[in-house]
Structure 1
Amino acid sequence: MFRKRSTEGYASKLKDTEQKTLVYGEKTLMVEFKLKKGSILPRHSHPYEQTGYLISGHIILSIGETKYDVYPGDSWCILSELEHSAEIIEDAVAIEIFSPAREDYLVEVSDEEMIR
């Protein structure tokens, strides 16, 4: 799957957070997150392995009992079922990949946006 860049298609599942599924396959799914300064991503866990990369901004990421000061260019991998949360210190953009692909994040992609 190839998807053309678009400024449309963002959804808000949490306050002050926008997300957009970029592409997905049988085993992985990639999402862009736009995170607003001052927001909190509550502590949670899920059955997906989650690998991420911070494009811009500043966040404090808690994985298990460890806190990380995350800046652009930093990356992480959160194993499945491991509790994690984030505090957004500055407006931020992150790219994350989930494996297996999260069914709750699957979206229809228009023919204009995608080339198979």
Structure 2
Amino acid sequence: MSIQNYFPTSEGKLETVADGLSRKVGAHDDNLMVVEVHFEAGTTAPLHHHRHEQITYVMSGKFEFTVGDQTYVVGPGDSLYKQPDIVHGATCLEAGTLLDVFTPHREDFV
């Protein structure tokens, strides 16, 4: 089995997920994945949950995140941890980009 170690951004595809929301999958294998997520101001990622652990790093913009029963307003340099199956979602307050890391990888993204 050959492992891919390099995932150039020029080869990644920016996929529209919904109005005002797009993503580009970066490096990944069966156990780990990184995803760049772009939001336009006012866009909402509805409350949802999944079996994956997730860390979100705010690259730019301003967001209101709900994680479980807590709400946070976050900006560049902030990060959030979401344990498996916790309900979470976000509203973009100022256009920006998030970097999401999942373990294991999201089969539904590749």
User: TM-score, length-normalised on structure 1?
Assistant: 0.87
State the match for 2:34 in structure 1. 30
Q: Aligned with 2:108: secondary structure?
A: helix
State the match for 2:16 in structure 1. 12
Distance (Å, rounded) in 1 between the aligned partners of 2:49 and 2:30: 22
Report the count of equivalent residues: 106
Q: Per-residue displacement from partner, 1:6-45 (whole Å, max 9, x unpaired)?
A: 2851001222101000110120010000011001110110
Q: Which of 98, 101, 105 in structure 2 is aligned with 1:101?
A: 105
| Matches for 1:1-116 after TM superposition, within 5 Å | 1-6=5-10, 9-106=13-110
Distance (Å, rounded) in 1 between the aligned partners of 2:42 and 2:59: 18
Q: Percent identity?
A: 26
- After TM superposition, where is structure 1 displaced by more than 2 Å over at least 4 residues in a row? 5-8
**In angstroms, what is the RMSD of aligned CA positions?**
1.2
